[in-house]
């Protein structure tokens, strides 16, 4: 008697090898067990997916034997395997790709003996930390939200304004769960790595350091492995993490929190393009775990799914919990629109805004200036011949970074020193065009050079963006300087706009937000409203401080379109009105959430080859069942069509039925693999399917 073991391994992309590979074993291997198996000339890690007993005979196919079973580790349970299988099926990827990407990288390199030794070292008899008393008094809105959360099944959309105390609701929900079920586990997800440390500190303070682990890509491989093992064994009661944490092995999972659920960071943009938010909802249903999606500006999909029943409309699948008020006596910041049409040409910061910032500095308060463009200037240009700092490898400009005198492409990373003169005509007078956070920081420094703080010292301006936080520990030290009051004016990109609990900021300003109003991407207004609303939420969070200062929290927005409905709704902090308008427009246009989309993308050395492949794929789809219910748009180049000398094109598919779209995509996969072997597919470097794309 022998066993055929089906194993999920990470096969090469587009290899068309199928979801699992079969191996021989003399004994039954439990599904979910980690195994080491031969693949080509290598031995790789795999997950046993199924075991079949077979009689040896002349007709039997000779299979390679399994190398080793990592039996020191408990098998991955059926619920985890179901999650991986669903994600692979829905997002059109291979089973092994999803399964292996969900495991910590260091696990792939350990032998059975090494893993056993590591687990022996890690075992501890120390009990998990207890729950510290909750000293914070709940508001009536928080109490109501928690009461409904305990009484109803969900999933829940916690719609709470910035500063309404959503995090305390999460903490109380987790505390109630752990008190009720001694072995239960909770998963708490955040969109950005830089938000994890402050949330981790609050959870460890409340539940004890032994009960909480983090999972995100900023950790070292040994740290990720240790956290994953703690979650898998049940030793970690609470896992905090970014989108990758949705695949954490948690055998006693009973609660999932997705904070800032609207954030685009929950959608993976490389490899398997899954939505961690959507998978969290699916996983909660599969494992009978309650799910809370929290946001001050929910995604329109979640808002639509939480709509109450009305007339013939049965309503959405989610339960909406509302917390519209800030904690205590705090008021939402007053929104002031500055009409830049009335300002002198080339005005960067209006006189009224500068005066308002100056008043804050004089009183010892902090201001935040938000500009979602890093670097000194987006382009360096020659006025004589028209030369611009184009990237030779991408259809984009290289950004001028004055701090290190470089021209840097933010798409492929190509970097050069700034030329002394124009490379085309030799003109020495090449100049920056436009403005990034570096230049804004410099400009503010010049404007407030003569201004003094209340103690007589010079004004301190700090910048937080992807460039200033590149070094290890830089972000933490910069945030600490803001929290301690050392910084008077904080300049930054969207990194500073969300999640941070700055207690002394009373003014937030958005300098140039108009670009997204007229973007070709239909989701751009939704993202802009969310970003501005989140930015405004950084002002006036400490009601006692604002009151003691005799100040008013304000959000200033400089715009050429002050009458735009988006700004009108923002001025009233009226997300429901904004959402209603957007949803009406989307319904009329047949766009998500009233339709379902997927993109087929192709990369090639020339745009012609990429589009020819997509054209052939389009023609091949005609034969698929249900294709008449799927609209397939012509292939077009991406907005930035060339990156690192690779041309990129895409084709949009849209259907009123998610099930029909999924059937067509599944039937299309083998046809796409076949196309790679035809003349139309020969020059294609790679192709991918992006289901529920976030940007088009």
**Which residues contribute to the annotated binding site for Zn(2+)?**
382, 385, 391, 394, 409, 412, 422, 425
What is d(CA 33, CA 479) in angstroms, rounded to the nearest whole number? 43
Contacts of 69 (CB under 8 A, 6+ apart): 29, 33, 34, 35, 48, 112
What is d(CA 645, CA 22) in angstroms, rounded to the nearest whole number? 39
Phi/psi for 420 (5° steps) reads: -70, -25
The 3-state DSSP class for residue 446 equals: helix
301-319 in b/e form (b: 16+ CB < 10 A) is: bbbbbbbeeeeeeeebebb
Pick out the residues of the known binding site.
382, 385, 391, 394, 409, 412, 422, 425
Q: Name the residue among 579, 485, 553 with its Cα closest to residue 326.
A: 553
368-398 in b/e form (b: 16+ CB < 10 A) is: bbbbbbbbbbbbbbbeeeebebebebbbbbb
Phi/psi for 46 (5° steps) reads: -145, 170
Q: Name the residue among 443, 439, 445 with its Cα closest to residue 361.
A: 445
Phi/psi for 411 (5° steps) reads: -105, -45
Residue carrying the six token digits 């995509």: 665
462, β-bridge pairs:
490
DSSP code of residue 313: B
Residue carrying the six token digits 């930015």: 535
User: Within 10 A of 235 (CB to CB), how many other CB atoms are there?
Assistant: 17
> Quick check: bond before 155 cis, omega within 30?
yes
CA distances from 441 to 109, 331, 404, 460, 508 (A): 45, 29, 15, 10, 15
Q: Name the residue among 580, 586, 596, 613 with its Cα closest to residue 683.
A: 613
What is d(CA 459, CA 450) in angstroms, rounded to the nearest whole number? 8
What is d(CA 331, CA 552) in angstroms, rounded to the nearest whole number? 9
> What tokens were used for 429?
């007078």
Three-state SS string over 551-583 comes to CCCEEEEEECCCCCHHHHHHHCCCHHHHHHHHH
Phi/psi for 202 (5° steps) reads: -65, -40
> Quick check: bond before 593 cis, omega within 30?
yes
CA distances from 549 to 87, 416, 546 (A): 52, 48, 5
What is d(CA 293, CA 681) in angstroms, rounded to the nearest whole number? 42
What is d(CA 662, CA 689) in angstroms, rounded to the nearest whole number? 11
Q: Cβ(334)–Cβ(551) under 8 Å?
A: no
CA distances from 417 to 168, 398, 402, 414 (A): 49, 11, 10, 11
User: HSE-up of 409 (CA within 13 Å, CB side)?
Assistant: 21
> What tokens were used for 629?
């219910």
DSSP code of residue 132: P
């Amino acid at each position: 008697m022998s066993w055929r073991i089906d194993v999920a391994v990470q096969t090469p992309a587009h290899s068309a090898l199928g979801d699992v590979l079969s191996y021989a074993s003399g004994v039954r291997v439990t599904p979910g067990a980690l195994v080491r198996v031969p693949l080509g000339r290598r031995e790789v890690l795999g997950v046993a997916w199924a075991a079949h007993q077979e009689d040896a005979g002349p007709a039997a196919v000779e299979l390679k034997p399994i190398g080793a079973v990592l039996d020191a580790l408990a098998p991955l349970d059926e619920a985890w395997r179901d999650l991986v299988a669903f994600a692979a099926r829905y997002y059109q990827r291979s089973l092994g790709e999803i399964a292996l990407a969900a495991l910590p990288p260091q696990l792939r390199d350990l032998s059975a003996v090494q893993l056993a030794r590591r687990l022996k070292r890690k075992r501890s008899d120390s009990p998990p930390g207890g729950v510290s008393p909750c000293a914070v008094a709940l508001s009536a809105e928080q109490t109501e939200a928690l009461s409904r959360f305990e009484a109803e099944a969900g999933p829940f959309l916690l719609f709470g304004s910035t500063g309404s105390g959503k995090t305390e609701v999460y903490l109380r929900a987790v505390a109630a769960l752990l008190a009720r079920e001694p072995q239960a586990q909770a998963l708490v997800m955040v969109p950005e790595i830089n938000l994890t440390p402050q949330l981790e500190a609050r959870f460890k303070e409340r539940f004890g350091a032994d009960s909480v682990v983090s999972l995100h890509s900023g950790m070292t491989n040994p740290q990720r492995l240790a956290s994953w093992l703690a979650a898998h064994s049940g030793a970690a009661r609470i896992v905090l993490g970014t989108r990758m944490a949705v695949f954490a092995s948690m055998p006693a999972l009973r609660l999932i929190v997705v904070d800032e659920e609207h954030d685009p960071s929950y959608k993976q943009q490389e490899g398997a393009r899954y939505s961690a938010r959507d998978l969290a909802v699916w996983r909660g249903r599969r494992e009978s775990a309650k799910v809370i999606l929290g946001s001050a500006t929910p995604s329109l999909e979640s808002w639509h799914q939480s709509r109450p029943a009305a007339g013939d409309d049965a309503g959405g699948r989610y339960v909406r919990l509302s917390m519209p008020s800030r904690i205590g006596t705090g008021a939402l910041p007053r929104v002031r629109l500055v009409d830049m049409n009335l300002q002198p040409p080339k005005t960067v910061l209006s006189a009224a805004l500068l005066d308002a910032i100056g008043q804050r500095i004089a009183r010892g308060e902090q201001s935040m200036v938000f500009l979602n463009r890093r670097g000194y200037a987006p382009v360096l240009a020659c006025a004589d011949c028209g030369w611009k700092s184009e990237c030779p490898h991408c259809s984009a400009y290289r950004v001028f970074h004055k701090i290190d005198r470089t021209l840097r492409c933010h798409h492929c990373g190509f970097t050069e020193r700034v030329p002394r003169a124009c490379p085309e005509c030799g003109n020495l007078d090449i100049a920056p065009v436009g403005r990034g956070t570096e230049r804004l920081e410099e400009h503010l420094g010049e404007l407030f050079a003569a201004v003094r703080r209340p103690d007589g010292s010079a004004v301190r301006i700090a910048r937080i963006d992807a460039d200033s936080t590149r070094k290890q520990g830089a972000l933490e030290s910069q945030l600490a300087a803001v929290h301690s009051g050392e910084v008077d004016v904080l300049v930054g990109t969207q990194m500073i706009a969300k999640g941070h609990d700055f207690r002394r900021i009373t003014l937030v300003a958005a300098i140039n937000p108009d670009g997204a109003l007229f973007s070709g991407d239909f989701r751009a207004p939704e993202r802009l409203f969310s970003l501005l609303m989140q930015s405004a939420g950084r002002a006036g969070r400490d009601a006692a401080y604002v009151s003691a200062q005799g100040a008013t929290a304000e959000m200033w927005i400089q715009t050429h379109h002050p009458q735009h409905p988006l700004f009108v709704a923002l001025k009233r902090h009226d997300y429901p009105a904004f959402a209603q308008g957007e949803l009406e427009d989307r319904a009329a246009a047949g766009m998500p959430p009233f339709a379902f989309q997927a993109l087929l993308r192709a990369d090639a050395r020339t745009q012609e080859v990429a589009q020819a492949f997509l054209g052939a794929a389009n023609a091949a789809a005609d034969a698929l069942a249900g294709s008449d219910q799927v609209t397939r748009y012509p292939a077009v180049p991406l907005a930035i069509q060339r990156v690192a000398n690779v041309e990129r094109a895409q084709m949009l598919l849209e259907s009123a039925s998610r099930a029909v779209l999924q059937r067509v995509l599944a039937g299309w996969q083998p046809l796409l693999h076949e196309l790679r072997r035809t003349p139309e597919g020969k020059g294609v470097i790679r192709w991918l399917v992006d289901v529920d794309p976030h940007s088009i």
